Chain A
Amino acid sequence: MSVLESIALLGATLLVVGTVFPAISRNPTVALTLQAAGIALIGSGGALVLFGAPLIGAEFRSSLDPALGIDGLTGFFLATLALVAVPALIFSRDYLAGVKRSRALVALCGLFLISLVGVVVARDPSLFLASWELMTLVPATAILVRRSDATVRRAVYVYLAVTHLGGVGVWICVLALAHYGALDNPAALAAHGSALQAFIIAAAIVGFGTKAGLMPLHSWLPRAHPVAPSHISALMSGVMIKVALYGLIRVLFEWAAPPPLWVGFVILGLGLLSSLGGVLYALMQRDLKRLLAFSSIENVGIVALGLGASILFSSQGDTTWAAIAFAAALLHIVNHAVFKTLLFLVAGAFERAAGSLDLDQIGGLLRRMPWTGGAFLVGSMAIAGVPPLNGFASEWLTLQALIHVALGPSLGIGVAGAVGAAALAATAALAVFCFVKVVGLVLLGPARRVEVETAVEAPPATRGALVFLAGCCVALGAIPGLLIPSLMELAPQPRTLANGPGLAIPGTGSLPSPWLLFGLLALTGLLWRLRGSKRSAPVPSWACGQRIEPSLSWRSAGFTKPLRLTLEAVFRPQREIVAIREHGQLQSLRYRSEIPHLFDTLLYRPIQRGALRGALIARRLQSGSVRAYAAYLLALLLALLVLARIGAIG
């Protein structure tokens, strides 16, 4: 057994021991430490494989004998998982202190990690599908263990219903691939013609796309993510939806490869819809965790844009740019995992400190919680895609890929690339809009709640975990170039590219990210010195001479109003103003405004209504009479006999 295998096995053992540990001990610290050590070891094993160590364990097989293994792509996802799971576990120790049933939550968190690791290391269909189902069910259980009021039960119900209906696609796709022996021999599928390949790819897009939260299959995501405990939300948004993308990548780029051209257009289109739609709805949210959930849809969309661009490049034979676009998608996966985990964890800390996640009712937390707030600011800037942080690096690379799709010779592909590039640019601008709003309403300005005045900074361990994640945002933004060669090696047609710490890609003006970071810091410092520490006079902010009362302060709805008015046709906001008059005099006004989620009202509700109507019709068959059931059996038997007689079956 090699050293690498021993590391991975030791990690797996520690993770399992950490998961069952709460059954024998009340102390969560030991269990969480074991889990963190285990996942860190597994992740470092994965990282070693990613950076060139030999593969561990078995290859993919189409038979149902369980097998495990780690290759480059698996290693990448394991490393990403470990990078965010360790801080999330450290965070959860303080977060769960004093919470009812915290032992169960600790155990479930470990089980969730095992299922996530299981999906990416599974090398056969049975283990893959078992881990896949476990990955869906465990967070649902964790949500219900923590809270079980009616709204939460409803959210979990929708989550399970949608992911299982969509998840059928995963079963169909994986079992069909196994049936035709395509898991270990991708060429096997080609022999059966393009119709089968198209069917399998469509099943994969529906199945994995539902779990990844690609619009319009995302309906469960903004319901389930906000109600989970913060560290579970962080793992769901940061890692679970990425593991769904892992499945999609395996199918599109390995098992059913090479995908035909239309797949590139479909993935690009889904990415465009998800990125723009996700960020537009995120912008209109008032609840911080719900906003973060919608922003996850946006970021999955950005990854899909990269994957779509990669398919379009390979169909044109441009393997270098195909590999670059593929690497851009993977880079965005790890970047999003880091900052989304950070933001969800901080949201949990804020909920503890301020007692609310309603954006309109927090305000001014940066003064009370400088460390947590500072980490949140870094994470927000990273997710908004402003340089020099990591979000900008991967969005820059994805945008460059789309621009180079647009420069290509073919008309259809070129226009698709240009539309994708414009949509990504608009998405980036909307993300700035969205996260400036979040930063402003949560961290800055006057406190809007009494609890904020007495909020206390998070405990040191939590603080350390958050600062570590913020540091990752800066580091991944400064040296993305060190990752890119390894990520390009994972593309179906690997290409190498000489690269320094920045991104020196041919056909671009290059993104020398370390210099950008250094330049911004140095110039800001220089200007700060120049500005000097002249005495400044404290004054109230200017509001035409009035005091800024809480009722005058700006809220989420006011800040986003220009955009809501501009895109009224898209959002279709509903307003209701009720004036209560007595004796012809206005007594009071009641105002309510809402932005309906159009996918729910226009897409899901009609389907739901149709399904219920179908169920009503089907219920008529269920008369409860034994004679009727005997007649059904007889009819079925006769029908089968007739079919066998005419040769349709058997």
Chain B
Amino acid sequence: MNALAGAIQLIGGLALAPLLPGSIQALKARLQGRRGPSPLQPYRELRRLWGKSLVDPQPTTLLYRLAPCLVAAAMILSLFLVPIAGLSPNWPLGNDAIVLVGLFAFARFALAASSWDTGSGFGLMGSSRDLTLSVFAEALLVLALILAALPVGSTDLVAMSSAANGSAAWSQPAHWCAAGAFGLVVLFETGRQPIDNPDTHLELTMIHEGPLLEYAGRDLALLQWSAAARHWIILVLAAELYLPHWGGFGARLACLVGGVALICVTLAFTETAQAKMRILRAPALLAGGCLLALVGLISWLVS
């Protein structure tokens, strides 16, 4: 079982991750009455980019060229931390939730530094917005993780995932609050509407696309894969900790697949129904999530 979970962690994360943004885009196109690209479009993009030559904006340093590798390395390490159906083989990396937060911060640092290196206004605009929102999102993420850690008293993701197994967790109001709060984290980390619009390259609105603008070829392929991997990690985490699942490994695996699919469908619906909000309104939304999480914590502590 453990070996299977480990294989899904690694192979699933590496190979299936691009399917998530691809299928969200395809479903969204259908909902909007277009034919749209196939769910496999991200793979074609990656193959096309892999064969292309690189671009080297002047003046840049080694840091600019290393950044895509650093970001992708942080994402690959994160893949090992997130359990699949409540299981994770004993990788020497542990399964701590806060380490995952740290690896995401590492990727953010590397990408923002790369946009300073080019000095291009678009990259810096995107990173400064990303870093501003990350202040609120990181506080929200930690609060949501605290709520998920309450029943087991541990930030070990495997233990937290087991605590969310079955229906007992859902009798606690704290769990509902946690699910709501983490929903906002999903919106931010995957760069989806109403916080960011993944379809646009219009500089006035973009957040996550901005720092990618100067990259080409394999560098861009690595960064696009990293964006897809971020979808995978956050969606699997959401399904493992904050969506219902029951039973043994097989049943939970089915629940996981269903949960991730459900979030993809929800994201496609939200993007169709909801316009992007003003960037300066997003912190208020995330801070509202923090309050929701605190209410959840209080409900747990008084009961």
- List the interface of chain A (C-beta within 8 A of B): 364, 366-367, 377, 381, 384-387, 392, 396, 399-400, 403-404, 406-407, 409-411, 414-415, 418-419, 421-426, 428-430, 432-433, 435-437, 439-441, 443-446, 502, 504, 506-512, 515-516, 519-520, 523-524, 527-528, 530-532, 534-543, 548, 552-554, 558-563, 565-566
Q: How far is the CB of A650 from chain B (nearest CB, A)?
A: 56
Contact in complex: A566, B283 (CB < 8 Å): yes
Contact in complex: B154, A507 (CB < 8 Å): yes
Contact in complex: B131, A535 (CB < 8 Å): no
Interface residue B72 (Cβ < 8 Å from any Cβ of A): yes
B residues less than 8 Å from A552 (CB atoms): 121
Q: How far is the CB of A361 from chain B (nearest CB, A)?
A: 14
Contact in complex: A400, B155 (CB < 8 Å): yes
A residues less than 8 Å from B265 (CB atoms): none
Given contacts A392-B102, A422-B139, 6 further A-B contacts (CB under 8 A): A403-B155, A406-B297, A432-B105, A433-B135, A508-B98, A565-B280
Listed stretches B21-29, B88-96, B192-200, B244-252; interface member: B88-96
Q: How far is the CB of B76 from chain A (nearest CB, A)?
A: 5
Contact flags B96-115 to A (C-beta < 8 A → 1, else 0) = 11110111011011001101
Q: How far is the CB of A325 from chain B (nearest CB, A)?
A: 15
Docked complex Cα distance between A364 and B222 (Å): 26
B residues less than 8 Å from A563 (CB atoms): 128, 131-132, 135
Contact in complex: A422, B143 (CB < 8 Å): yes
Q: How far is the CB of B246 from chain A (nearest CB, A)?
A: 23
Contact in complex: A403, B149 (CB < 8 Å): yes
Contact in complex: B69, A385 (CB < 8 Å): no
Docked complex Cα distance between A425 and B154 (Å): 17
A residues less than 8 Å from B262 (CB atoms): none
Docked complex Cα distance between A540 and B59 (Å): 8
3 closest Cβ pairs, A-B complex = A440-B116, A509-B96, A536-B54
With A433-B132, A520-B74, A560-B128 known as contacts, the answer to whether A422 contacts B290 (CB < 8 A) is yes
Q: How far is the CB of B224 from chain A (nearest CB, A)?
A: 14
Docked complex Cα distance between A55 and B64 (Å): 51
Out of A502, A520, A566, name the residue touching B77 (CB < 8 Å). A520
Interface residue B254 (Cβ < 8 Å from any Cβ of A): no
Out of A387, A419, A504, name the residue touching B99 (CB < 8 Å). A387
Contact in complex: B73, A539 (CB < 8 Å): no
Residue in chain B with minimal CB distance to A421: B142
Docked complex Cα distance between A426 and B105 (Å): 11
Contact in complex: B156, A387 (CB < 8 Å): no
Residue in chain B with minimal CB distance to A502: B94
Docked complex Cα distance between A559 and B121 (Å): 10
Docked complex Cα distance between A400 and B129 (Å): 28
Contact in complex: A387, B106 (CB < 8 Å): yes
Q: How far is the CB of A49 from chain B (nearest CB, A)?
A: 32
Contact in complex: B57, A510 (CB < 8 Å): no
Interface residue B56 (Cβ < 8 Å from any Cβ of A): yes
| A419, A444, A519, A528 pick with most chain B CB within 10 angstroms | A444
| B94, B119, B159, B297 pick with most chain A CB within 10 angstroms | B119
Interface residue B190 (Cβ < 8 Å from any Cβ of A): no
Out of B59, B115, B141, name the residue touching A367 (CB < 8 Å). B59
Could you name 25 residue pairs across A and B whose Cβ atoms are closer than 8 Å?
A396-B98, A400-B98, A407-B146, A411-B302, A415-B297, A425-B101, A429-B139, A433-B131, A436-B109, A436-B113, A437-B116, A444-B116, A502-B94, A509-B95, A509-B99, A510-B95, A523-B76, A540-B57, A542-B57, A542-B120, A548-B120, A554-B121, A562-B128, A562-B129, A563-B132
Out of A415, A445, A504, A508, name the residue touching B154 (CB < 8 Å). A508
Interface residue B70 (Cβ < 8 Å from any Cβ of A): yes
Q: How far is the CB of A252 from chain B (nearest CB, A)?
A: 26
Which secondary structure dominates where chain A touches chain B?
helix
Q: How far is the CB of A439 from chain B (nearest CB, A)?
A: 6
Docked complex Cα distance between A540 and B121 (Å): 13
| A424, A527, A538 pick with most chain B CB within 10 angstroms | A527
B residues less than 8 Å from A560 (CB atoms): 128
Contact in complex: A537, B56 (CB < 8 Å): yes
Contact in complex: B56, A536 (CB < 8 Å): yes
Docked complex Cα distance between A541 and B116 (Å): 11
Interface residue B189 (Cβ < 8 Å from any Cβ of A): no
With A418-B146, A444-B113, A542-B120 known as contacts, the answer to whether A528 contacts B69 (CB < 8 A) is yes
Q: How far is the CB of B259 from chain A (nearest CB, A)?
A: 21
A residues less than 8 Å from B63 (CB atoms): 366, 377, 444
Q: How far is the CB of B270 from chain A (nearest CB, A)?
A: 23
Contact flags B144-162 to A (C-beta < 8 A → 1, else 0) = 0110011001111111000
Contact in complex: A386, B131 (CB < 8 Å): no
A residues less than 8 Å from B72 (CB atoms): 523, 527
B residues less than 8 Å from A532 (CB atoms): 218
Contact in complex: B139, A411 (CB < 8 Å): no
Q: How far is the CB of B282 from chain A (nearest CB, A)?
A: 9
| B116, B137, B140, B222 pick with most chain A CB within 10 angstroms | B116
Contact in complex: A387, B69 (CB < 8 Å): no
Docked complex Cα distance between A285 and B138 (Å): 23
Residue in chain A with minimal CB distance to B143: A422
Docked complex Cα distance between A172 and B289 (Å): 45
Interface residue B42 (Cβ < 8 Å from any Cβ of A): no
With A436-B127, A516-B77 known as contacts, the answer to whether A542 contacts B93 (CB < 8 A) is no
With A411-B301, A436-B116 known as contacts, the answer to whether A428 contacts B138 (CB < 8 A) is yes
Contact in complex: A528, B66 (CB < 8 Å): yes
Contact in complex: A381, B73 (CB < 8 Å): no
With A425-B138, A512-B94, A534-B53 known as contacts, the answer to whether A445 contacts B117 (CB < 8 A) is yes
Interface residue B61 (Cβ < 8 Å from any Cβ of A): yes
Q: How far is the CB of A570 from chain B (nearest CB, A)?
A: 12
With A384-B109, A396-B102, A523-B76 known as contacts, the answer to whether A445 contacts B53 (CB < 8 A) is no
Docked complex Cα distance between A465 and B112 (Å): 28
Contact in complex: B119, A539 (CB < 8 Å): no
Contact in complex: A554, B119 (CB < 8 Å): yes
B residues less than 8 Å from A511 (CB atoms): 94, 96, 98-99
Q: How far is the CB of A406 from chain B (nearest CB, A)?
A: 5
Residue in chain B with minimal CB distance to A540: B58
Interface residue B39 (Cβ < 8 Å from any Cβ of A): no
Q: How far is the CB of A23 from chain B (nearest CB, A)?
A: 46
B residues less than 8 Å from A411 (CB atoms): 298, 301-302
Docked complex Cα distance between A446 and B143 (Å): 40
Contact in complex: B61, A444 (CB < 8 Å): yes
A residues less than 8 Å from B131 (CB atoms): 429, 432-433, 436, 563
Q: How far is the CB of B199 from chain A (nearest CB, A)?
A: 20
Docked complex Cα distance between A210 and B155 (Å): 35
Contact in complex: A426, B53 (CB < 8 Å): no
Q: How far is the CB of B212 from chain A (nearest CB, A)?
A: 12
Interface residue B46 (Cβ < 8 Å from any Cβ of A): no
Contact in complex: A531, B58 (CB < 8 Å): no
Residue in chain B with minimal CB distance to A560: B128
Q: How far is the CB of B78 from chain A (nearest CB, A)?
A: 10
The residues in B between 40 and 73 inclusive whose CB is less than 8 angstroms from any CB of A are 53-61, 63-64, 66, 68-70, 72-73
Q: How far is the CB of A540 from chain B (nearest CB, A)?
A: 6
A residues less than 8 Å from B121 (CB atoms): 543, 552, 554
Interface residue B279 (Cβ < 8 Å from any Cβ of A): yes
Docked complex Cα distance between A33 and B69 (Å): 43
Docked complex Cα distance between A437 and B73 (Å): 23
Out of A404, A445, A504, name the residue touching B116 (CB < 8 Å). A445
Contact flags B285-303 to A (C-beta < 8 A → 1, else 0) = 0000010011001100110
Out of A387, A396, A403, A446, name the residue touching B119 (CB < 8 Å). A446
Contact in complex: A562, B280 (CB < 8 Å): yes
Residue in chain A with minimal CB distance to B158: A509
Contact in complex: B106, A404 (CB < 8 Å): no
Contact in complex: A445, B119 (CB < 8 Å): yes
Contact in complex: B153, A507 (CB < 8 Å): yes
Q: How far is the CB of A511 from chain B (nearest CB, A)?
A: 6
Contact in complex: A386, B105 (CB < 8 Å): yes
Contact in complex: B113, A440 (CB < 8 Å): yes
Q: How far is the CB of A590 from chain B (nearest CB, A)?
A: 23
